[in-house]
Amino acid sequence: MAVHAHPDDESSKGAATMARYVAEGVEVLVVTCTGGERGSILNPAMDRPEVRENIGKVRNEEMARAREILGVEQRWLGFVDSGFPEGDPLPPLPEGCFALEPLESAAERLVAAVREFRPHVILTYDENGGYPHPDHVKTHEVSVEAFEAAGDPDRYPGVGGEPWQPLKLYYHMTFNTARIEALDEAMKAAGLESPYGDWRERAKDRPEKWEVTTRVPCGEFFETRDRALIAHATQIDPDGFWFAVPLDVQREAWPTEDYHLARSLVDTELPEDDLFAGIREKVSV
């Protein structure tokens, strides 16, 4: 189960990993907490009045195309996008948005999804949300709450389904420093303009809190990831940043997607190359 804040997050974080596991026969569910109703239109070609006026419907349709490309199941939790407040001082969040939901009421729907789908592994963001979007931070909070509560029959007793305890919880480490440096150096070595120079400079002032514990080889599914990204046409410019590094350069320099193992109820040896390390042995006994 991959828990994400908005439609398009599943395609920019962990998409090739999910496509790989789907190809191996693993059941994968993407849980999307909000409808992305307040997301900006980042692709100039889609910035049209009819799109702006129906952004929720359009993003729903984009998600449908992306999940078909990835081969995953997908469920909406039904919360309303909080938007990304900017300014000094920051404006208040809009009433009724996901980020303002009390933790228990926000987590209840995810606990229900965990008890129904019964995942062994949950993917989510770290406590900073990967970046400090209020919906990403709330997604982290509800994911940790659901991981810890879904297996306890005394918690969320009004939620349907038998208690179910997932075995591992991971944080996405998509933009870790080692990966950015490797891709930057690979682009320069190939005589190409790298999009990561500024990133490396900014990273010097932001030490990483979480180490990468798990690198999942999935380079052969990068093209699938990119097709899923492009399906989110309001958010992804096909001529933009996401596609600046050729796939062959990516596969040579960094053919994995990376994670931090935040919780584990099974024995596993670090570093890992499989999200199900320690689980396959347990469930096959």
Residues annotated as binding site for Zn(2+)?
6, 9, 136
Nearest Cα neighbor of 70 from 110, 130, 27 is 27
d(CA 285, CA 267): 14
Instruction: For the beta carbon of residue 201, count every other beta carbon within 10 angstroms.
Output: 9
d(CA 18, CA 275): 10
- Sign for the CA dihedral angle at 89, 90, 95, 98 comes to negative
Residues tagged in the binding site annotation: 6, 9, 136
Q: Work out whether strand 73-79 and strand 29-34 pair parallel, antiparallel, or are unpaired.
A: parallel
Q: Which amino acid is at 21?
A: Y
